[in-house]
Amino acid sequence: MSATDAVTFWDGVYAARSAAIDPRPNARLTETVTGLSPGDALDLGCGDGGDALWLAGQGWHVTAADISAVAVERLAVLARSHGLDDRVTTVRHDLRTSFPHGEFDLICAHYLHTPIDLDRATVLRSAAHALRPDGRLLIVDHGSAAPWSWNQDPGVRYPSPHEVAADIDMDPATWTVERADTPHRIATGPDGRTAEVTDHVLLIRRTT
């Protein structure tokens, strides 16, 4: 899939549904970040913007990145409407070719799954290197397919958190794994349906 096709695909995904008015943050984000001192955060694949808006509301300054211009433009409007535009900066990035500039205290990559050819290990390694000392990289992947997911391939395999950590291959003298597990939860889809899903959660902290 070419860069143009990738943008067209994801713009189409977001344009096919109504713009979110009050998107909710991901559960694994709120349980991980609550209690941390706010700083600079990077939201990779920001989508509808629930995570970015929640973080900004908690006092974080957030760079929200997505390949879709539709997604980032909608989030910029939402941030203004919530009075959070001074804490949310939206940027469009195709992570296959570019990575947001800066150093961060928190980087989130929630459900960074795509039909596009993406070297995730390289992207996540770049994210780990963009952390400040004591910063955290939160990676939350699907461990199962929700009924509303765009990917209903029954043959898809979801790498475990430990496999993801091994692929990133970070020096344990500089980065440490603080969490690697596969919790279950009841999720609500864009159409209001609910289903039990499995998350693959990996939390990495930069120690030096």
- What are the residue ranges spanned by the domains of the chain? 3-206
Of 3, 204, 79, 14, nearest to 63 (Cα)? 79
Instruction: Show the CA angle centred on residue 206, arms to residues 201 and 208, nearest 5°.
Output: 165
pLDDT in tens, 109-156: 999 988 788 899 999 999 999 999 999 999 999 998 887 776 667 777
Decide if pLDDT at 105 tops 90. yes
C-alpha to C-alpha distance for 172 and 206, rounded to whole angstroms: 9
Q: To the nearest whole percent, how much of the chain has pLDDT over 90?
A: 79
C-alpha to C-alpha distance for 92 and 102, rounded to whole angstroms: 15
Count the neighbouring beta carbons within 10 Å of the beta carbon of residue 173. 8
Residues 6+ apart with CB under 8 A from 8: none
Q: Which listed CATH number (3.10.150.10, 3.40.350.10, 3.40.50.150, 3.40.50.10420) goes with 3-206?
A: 3.40.50.150
Count the neighbouring beta carbons within 10 Å of the beta carbon of residue 152. 10
pLDDT in tens, 14-47: 999 889 999 999 999 999 999 999 999 999 999 9
CA separation (Å) from 200 to 21, 26, 28, 115, 164? Answer: 28, 13, 10, 19, 9
Q: What is the pLDDT of the chain when averaged over all its residues?
A: 93
3-state secondary structure of 78: helix
C-alpha to C-alpha distance for 91 and 197, rounded to whole angstroms: 30
Q: How confident is the model at residue 189 (pLDDT cuts 50, 70, 90)?
A: confident
15-36 burial code (b ≥16 CB/10 A, e <16): eeeebbeebebbebbeebbeee
